[in-house]
Amino acid sequence: MIAMSALTVAAVIAVGWQAYYISRTALEVESFNQLVAVRELKADQIDTFFRTIRDQVTVLSGSRVVTDAMAFLGEAFVTERVAGSNDGLAELRRFYDQEFLRRAQAAHAPSVNLADLWPEDPRSLSMQQRYISENPHPVGQKFQLDRSVFGSGYDEMHGEYHPAFRDLSKRFGYYDLFLVDAKTGYIVYSVEKEIDYATSLIDGPYRNSNIAQVFNKLRDAKNDNLAFMVDYESYIPSYGARASFLGSPIFVNGKTAGVLIVQVPLDQVDSIMTSGGAWSSVGLGKTGETYLVGPDFTLRSQSRFLATDREAFFGDIAASGVDEGTINRIKSLASAVGLLRVDTPGTRAALSGESGQQVFNDYRGQPVLSAYRQLDVPDVQWAIMSEKDQTETIAEALRLRNLIVTMVLVTALIAVVLAWLVARNLVAPLRALGDSANRLTDGDLEVNLDIDRSDEIGQLARSFEQMRRSLREHIQRQESAIAALATPMIPFRKEILIVPMVGLVDQSRISRLRESLVEEVHRRGARVAIIDLTGVPEIDAFSVAGLNHVTGAVALLGANVVLTGLRPEIAAQWASQEVQINNVVSERSLERGIARALEIIDSVTEHRTTE
């Protein structure tokens, strides 16, 4: 049974494992090919997007509306009469304290204080009063104000150009649009009117920010077709959210008058990388995603799992070792861009300029199939990752594995049943024959094997039965011979029989002694039977009782019994058993027993003569 079952199951397992291995390998190869295709598609879309924005900004910076706005707004801003009051400054300070800093803290922005943000330039304070603190629209809607109530020349210029720039920014999807004076570094215009508005990128609070990097790169440009972009960094005026800026110089009368800067829309990058939330439509299934990683190994686009299953996402990154502060920051901003570190073999290889595909644990600590390479976006060093959970990738192979396991179990059951049937037909008779042989070895000569078969097993069983009968007959003949030798009858003169007994005395032997002695006494007409126990080591109570029956039977025939050779220990044992033997004379030795027998014969003869 074991051999048949093991052979069948081993064959099924071997074939099943090979099928599983081949199918899993094929699925992984196919999945890698699909991930590479998605990676290239997304890389091309991202390259196109940033190339489009770069072209837009370059064209816009040379357009008539931008050059005119830069000239007029720039002139009006730097020549604007600085006007303000203590009440106005108090209101602006209240805005910083109660509106901006409170929101920044709620967003877990990097720790800052009012002294780091407060513009010392009176011009900056004056313009922020008009368009921020005195702006009647709420935070996030400050762009709704076309011109302040102050009514200056700048306000008129702002009211003329702002609707067009606001519409342009909305149409192109920019988060914000800035005009920066090349000479002074003032942000003379912005659509959103955040707290960077009207500050100087040369000596103002944000002189060390990444928007200032764009300005410094382009303020002395000699080519009006130049464009420059900086990577995403935490930007305080946007409540610490990650921001990227792209700019192009504005030439007026052949000289650099300013710089047009746009805040790159992160939501459009996310829309491209997530396919608008339709991951399955591009072949990424239930767990696939594409994302961007910067040179600091943090995300540059949104995580699919943050967007679809926040609870599981935060549980996974916490388990992978992300600190609580980073997790809280991601929760408050609802974005992991620039915050979640992705340091994997794939990102390290991609940021080093390599292109390839591997299986490794992603930023959630989950094993994924990953296809990676570096992007070709100018001015930044980004890696693009296209990944899918390994468990989903090999789901079909796992289903095949489960089917194989089921097949193995069913096959094993069938094999056991078939083996049992074969065993009942083949092994069971052999086992019965073996059991009979064991019983025969133990001395049971009455065992009978009834196997009615015409095959080799039946022939073997018949041979065994013939051997058993022959052995039983042979042993019976031996037993008869041994029995005769065990109780020999030695005639001593005509009237005396000597019966020497050697070895253990049991009931069977006593029974044979009684039968043979009675018969021999009767046949010979003996007067005395001498039973010699010199060679008997011990006698039990049953044997003593049996001897009593023997002597009684001999006495009924008119003969006497003389016991000789009774050992002291046997005599003590005999006495302790309290069994009485009648009509028996006991002598120490056979010699004395013979003498005693002769006396009995002489006594009987003399008695008869007297009569």
**DSSP conformation letters of 455-494:** SHHHHHHHHHHHHHHHHHHHHHHHHHHHHHHHS--EEETT
Q: Rounded to an integer, what distance in angstroms lies between the CA atom of residue 594 and that of residue 565? A: 12
Per-residue pLDDT reduced to its tens digit, 30-51 = 889 999 999 999 999 999 999 9
Cα separation, 63 vs 201, in Å, equals 24
- The answer to whether 82 touches 122, Cβ cutoff 8 Å, is yes
Where on the phi/psi map is residue 301: left (φ > 0), alpha (ψ -120 to 50), or beta?
beta
Mean pLDDT by runs of 10 across the 611 residues of the chain is 74 74 78 92 94 95 95 94 84 93 84 88 94 94 93 94 96 95 96 96 95 96 92 91 94 94 91 88 89 95 92 93 91 88 96 95 94 94 95 78 79 79 72 74 70 75 77 72 66 85 80 84 86 82 78 85 84 66 77 87 72 60
At 572 the pLDDT is: 74
Q: What is the pLDDT of residue 549?
A: 82
What per-residue confidence (pLDDT) applies to 607? 65
* Residue carrying structure tokens 């400050």: 142
Closest CA to 498 of 362, 382, 595, 389: 595
Q: How far is CA 269 from CA 173, 209, 216, 280, 373, in A?
A: 11, 22, 25, 18, 17
pTM: 0.65
Report which DSSP code applies to 186: B
pLDDT in tens, 323-362: 998 999 888 888 899 899 999 999 999 999 999 999 999 9
pLDDT of 534: 85
Closest residue by Cα to residue 231 from 212, 246, 249: 246
The DSSP annotation for 1-40 comes to: -HHHHHHHHHHHHHHHHHHHHHHHHHHHHHHHHHHHHHHH
Report strand pairing: 176-181 vs 255-263.
antiparallel
**Structural domains of the chain sorted by starting position, each given as residue range(s) with its CATH number in brackets:** 30-43+269-393 (3.30.450.20), 62-261 (3.30.450.20), 422-482 (1.10.8), 487-610 (3.30.750.24)
3-state secondary structure of 360: strand
For residues 223 and 225, what is the distance between their CA atoms, to the nearest angstrom?
Answer: 5
How far apart CA 335 and CA 239 sit, in angstroms, is: 13
Cα angle value 563/566/571 (rounded, 5°): 115
Q: Which of 166, 175, 178 minimizes the C-alpha distance to 218?
A: 178
User: Can you give the pLDDT at residue 90?
Assistant: 93
Bin 528: left if φ > 0, else alpha if -120 < ψ < 50, else beta.
beta
